[in-house]
Amino acid sequence: MPNPSQQIMRLGFGFAVSQALRVIIELGIPDLLAVGEQSVDELAAATQSDADALYRVMRLLAPEGVVREVLPRHFELTEVGAVLRSDQSGPRDFVRMINSEAYLAFEQLMHSVRTGKPAFDKVFGSPRFDWLSAHPEQAALFQRAMVALGQGSNEAVADACDFKPFTRIVDVGGGHGQLLSAILARNPHLDGVLFDLPSGVAAARQGAGGDLPRTEFVAGNFFESVPTGDVYVIKKVIHDWDDRRAAVILQNCRKAMLPNGKVFVAETLVPPGDEPNQIKGIDVVMLAVTGGLERTQTQYESLFDAAGLRLQRVIQTRGSISILEASAA
């Protein structure tokens, strides 16, 4: 059992594991090991790397269960590491994305703690989403990372919501369209609107998130307006923004919503207590990178009130994500 100092030291070295994952993904190590165990010398030759340096990175990841050292300086891929292969729709793109510009911004977390403002703006000179709009390659990686991060949760949301009373669904900030695709597949009576910035709409048009029949693609700014519909889904968007800007998004949905319409906000709620939960880590990343936050149910209730909406119920899905169902106040 590690003593308190050892536990703190392990936490402090968390950045090393995170960056080591990015390195082996960028080098294609999981793909090379997919055919079977190989020596570090073979891996280094295939990736034009220094064998001793690569060994030290692999040795770091072995205790984390990503690879296994089966013989001295010979490694095989584990079941955990296999999700990093390029033929898997797992978290590899998320690891690459979070360990690039977001990682650099997080080094300035103290700025966010002292000011309450995102460190990303200080480091890169513009807000996160403005920066992505000016960097298409990183924006494309971001979209792929969101596909990976949304695995399972889109289906969970599509299954948990009752869309039978509605005819026109607007996916606000729908990005790649994975959620809307799942909803339309289950509800053939619905017409869809995929609403996002141009980069998100482009990804959806190209089929990044699946088939989108009966869908109108609309590029725009949800701080200005949103398309008309009788039901709105907003998944993992509100958490990107502070209360003032999040309320504007919801207010615009309220203004455009047809009579008897609904707004479904899909987010992971911050639970009470001290138990470990990934959402608490994501919350601090939001602080540094976008200026947004993860919220408790009580915080969402206040946010809906500010937007002219009323929280009617919270729908629990089979995953960690919840759906907050709201109507006009």
Name the residues annotated as catalytic: 239
Please check whether residue 320 is in contact with residue 279, taking contact to mean a CB–CB distance below 8 angstroms: yes
Q: Distance between CA atoms of 178 and 32, rounded to whole angstroms? A: 30
Q: Distance between CA atoms of 90 and 94, rounded to whole angstroms? A: 8
3-state secondary structure of 52: helix
| DSSP 8-state class, residue 326 | E
Radius of gyration of the chain (CA): 22
Please provide the DSSP assignment of 117-141 as one string.
S-HHHHHHSS-HHHHHHT-HHHHHH
Strand partners, 263: 232, 326
Give me the sign of the Cα torsion angle 311, 316, 320, 321. Answer: negative
Residue 100: exposure state from Cβ atoms within 10 A (0-12, 13-18, ≥19): middle
Between strands 215-219 and 191-196, the pairing is parallel
Write out 308-319 in H/E/C secondary structure. CEEEEEEEECCC
